[in-house]
Amino acid sequence: MKSREIHLTAYPKTEPTAANFKMAETDIGSPGEGEVLVANKFLSVDPYMRGRMSGVRTYVDPFALDAVMDGGAVGQVVESHNPKFKEGDWVNSMHGWREAYISDGAGLNKIDTTHIAPEDYLGIAGLTGMTAYVGLKRCIDLQAGESIWVSAGAGAVGSAAIQFAKAMGAKVVATAGGQDKVEYCLSIGADAAVDYKAVDRLDKAVAEANGGGVNAYFENVGGTHWTAALEVLKPKGRIAACGMIQRYNDPGAKITDNLTYIVGKSLRIQGFIVSDHFDLLPAFIGDLGKWMAEGKVKPRNTIVEGIENMPDAFLGLFSGANTGKMLVKV
Ligand code: NDP
């Protein structure tokens, strides 16, 4: 059987372009004894993949050049010679950036699509939601009645963080790029939202929108946002350092010069990688199920059609093309 897949052709030094990717077609054969053939239905593109395009090992290996890339994917079993899977089963895997694959079942997780749409296992009900949960629960230890600023609030992790923080009883101020995204943040429960592209002083705009300083900051952006957060945090404020997308294509960008606030305000900063916190998975699943049943949390995805458009979907993360989770429908 033939499967189309995406390869990385070079490690970009700054902003990647479509020229860094190419589509290839591979004969993946047919499943043997103990194997399954899976057709991917939805593929995930994520900012962390940019780090894997540097050719250097960070907390995860770089992508190999001129070979199929990997990443989150959900698909359906179309042929099974493995007793653990049957035709029609939905599975979650890391075999993304391709239309189909053959597996012996290792690393495939069956997903229950009764109450959660398959694609949401790549978004709010998957690692994206878990990331927001870990940042709020473990890194910040957010308490009811506290105020929190969530940056990239209209993105995948950010929109999950807004909704979870509200469900935990916090007051939320969000930032996002553009009025449509501001409206979206308000529609999912943010008490206030600021278009960071339309203000001169982000710290002042956030403090004004919130009616004063914040107790906590959920960091998705870095750079200008990090600088503003150190200004606007109250004493004993906490930061969940989740991501710093502003620097991913510009590693030489200036780092803030107001770090002394960390001392003066007794701030606590906790960086994290979601996969180090899987012990929180049962608590996440329990809370998410409850919040969804109560109507407090709603998924939102931006879906790009066609595997051939996957590089554009990925590049769109860096120009703000998505609201909610960016996905590709195969
Ligand atoms: P998003 O869905 O938030 O997509 C990225 C968004 O970031 C864009 O829509 C855009 O929103 C904003 N953005 C992009 N470039 C810039 C820029 N230069 N300056 C300001 N904003 C920018 O992606 P995710 O939700 O998947 O990821 C959010 C963050 O969380 C990332 O930093 C990512 O690396 C991190 N992450 C960390 C994990 C961990 O384990 N620590 C796990 C998963 C994600 P806008 O239009 O509002 O500017």
- Domain assignment of residue 156, yes or no: yes
Q: Which of 221, 224, 246, 275 best tests ligand 1's pocket when mutated (most atoms within 8 Å of CB)?
A: 221
Both 131 and 112 in one domain: the answer is no
Both 104 and 18 in one domain: the answer is yes
Question: Which residues lie closer than 8 Å to 114 by C-beta, 6 or more apart?
Answer: none
What's the pLDDT score for residue 251? 80
Count other Cβ atoms within 10 Å, centred on residue 4. 18
CA–CA dist 139, 141 (Å, integer): 6
Is the separation of the CB atoms in 280 and 133 below 8 Å?
Answer: yes
What's the pLDDT score for residue 253? 81
Both 148 and 244 in one domain: the answer is yes
Both 304 and 270 in one domain: the answer is no
Dihedral sign computed on CA atoms, order 132, 138, 143, 148: negative
Q: Which of 196, 317, 326, 327 best tests ligand 1's pocket when mutated (most atoms within 8 Å of CB)?
A: 317
Q: What's the domain range around 42?
A: 2-121+299-329
What's the pLDDT score for residue 295? 96
Is the separation of the CB atoms in 225 and 175 below 8 Å?
Answer: yes
What's the pLDDT score for residue 266? 98
Dihedral sign computed on CA atoms, order 301, 307, 312, 315: positive
Distance 143 CA to ligand 1 centre (A): 24
- Domain assignment of residue 325, yes or no: yes
Both 181 and 141 in one domain: the answer is yes
Both 266 and 133 in one domain: the answer is yes
- Domain assignment of residue 245, yes or no: yes
pLDDT in tens, 183-242: 999 999 999 999 999 999 999 999 999 999 999 999 999 999 999 999 999 999 999 999
What's the pLDDT score for residue 58? 87
Name residues of the chain where pLDDT drops below 50: none
Both 173 and 263 in one domain: the answer is yes
Both 228 and 151 in one domain: the answer is yes
Q: How many domains does the chain have?
A: 2
Residue with tokens 């004969």: 27
Distance 306 CA to ligand 1 centre (A): 22
Ligand 1 site residues, Cβ closer than 6 angstroms: 46-48, 128, 131, 152, 154-158, 176-177, 181, 220-221, 242-246, 272-274, 317-318, 320, 322, 326
CATH value at residue 91: 3.90.180.10
The amino acid sitting at 101 is Y
- Domain assignment of residue 281, yes or no: no
